[in-house]
A = this chain, B = another copy of it.
Amino acid sequence: MGSTQRAGQGATIYSVAELAGVSIASVSRVLQGSTAVSETTRAKVLAAVDELNYVPLGAARSLAVRQHEAHGLVLPELTGPYYAELLLGFETRAAELGQSVVLVLTEGKRDLARTLRQLAARVDGLAVLGADSLPESALRGLRGSKPVILIAGDAQPDVEAVGAENERSARELTTHLFEHGRKRLLFVGDPDTAPDVRDRYRGFVAAHRAKRRKAAEPVRTAFREEDGVVFAQHVLAGEVAADALFCANDELALSVMHTLQDGGLDVPGDIAVVGWDDVMTARYVRPGLTTVRQPVRELGALVAERLHDRVGGHPAREGLQVLPTQVVLRSSCGCPPR
């Protein structure tokens, strides 16, 4: 056992103990910050630790304390600022809480169920975004063992969810469009793809109902740039009757607006366009894109924190926790520039 420092590899608690002339228990105590250690011992250990550049092996420690001290974060992908910002908030808070973060991107991955199992085998809890689009079996089985928090998803009996407000802001933004005198609004994006888009559409519908109007069926397109281009071309071809487009996110809104303008339409003169997320580009385009800002970073931080609580034994909060969002008026909706 007490083999000293294997060449090149990291020192072990044994090599440190040997060098310090104490037992491994003392080394552990010093490192754990236990009070029951004499100053002399502490000093000797610290010196040895420093000399050997010792750091306890994560796996060994995890096995002993039965905790991984790591959070798993599951995201669909990473395009656009939304996921990045969320990840940033999550990592920051997790680090403050002493947790490592293990990241898994689901898009394009084959055996998701297995991947998530493996992830669950090396973290204390999971935060999952886009759970609805995961294969049925993927989250099954994790539940009940590791705590799981759903991001921007629907809370369930035993799994809590955290998200940003959608319906109310969508309703507010829709109403704003009405106030600009727009009559034929179209919701661009498929409400069935994600709970938050669904809720935005609900707000869109609610605003119509309040005006005793009937909301049009949503344009069930995906959310990438290409999809926006395709849709905009339909508009340019005169196949779509609308004077305002409520896009499910900014990427979509931006590509739609851009294509429309290229096709000779005036935004917002001929048609208004609004988005969701307030990405950087939204400020740079002309006209500035009216959109809704979500506190994404804070959301990420909150998720990390809730997860940490859960791992620490706190019970799951019931229902969905919602962070406030904010409508950002620029001029693509019809408001005067600046």
Residues of A bordering B, CB below 8 Å: 8-10, 53, 55-60, 62-63, 68, 70, 77-79, 81, 83-85, 87-88, 91-92, 95, 100-105, 108-109, 115, 117-122, 141, 144-145, 225, 251, 254, 258, 280-281, 284-286
Contacts and interface: CB of A to CB of B under 8 A. Distances in A.
A281 B251 CA distance: 10
Nearest to A286: B286
The 4 closest A-B CB pairs, nearest first, are A58-B122, A59-B62, A281-B281, A53-B141
A283 B254 CA distance: 11
B117 A55 contact: yes
A87 B78 contact: yes
B55 A59 contact: no
Contacts of A83: 84
Nearest to A118: B55
Given A55-B121, A63-B63, A77-B88, A102 B100 contact: yes
A271 B12 CA distance: 61
Nearest to A262: B338
Contacts of A280: 225, 251, 281
Contact of A101 (B62, B63, B102, B285): B102
Contacts of A121: 10, 55-58
Given A108-B92, A280-B281, A59 B63 contact: yes
Contacts of A92: 105, 108
B78 A95 contact: no
Given A53-B141, A102-B101, A60 B58 contact: no
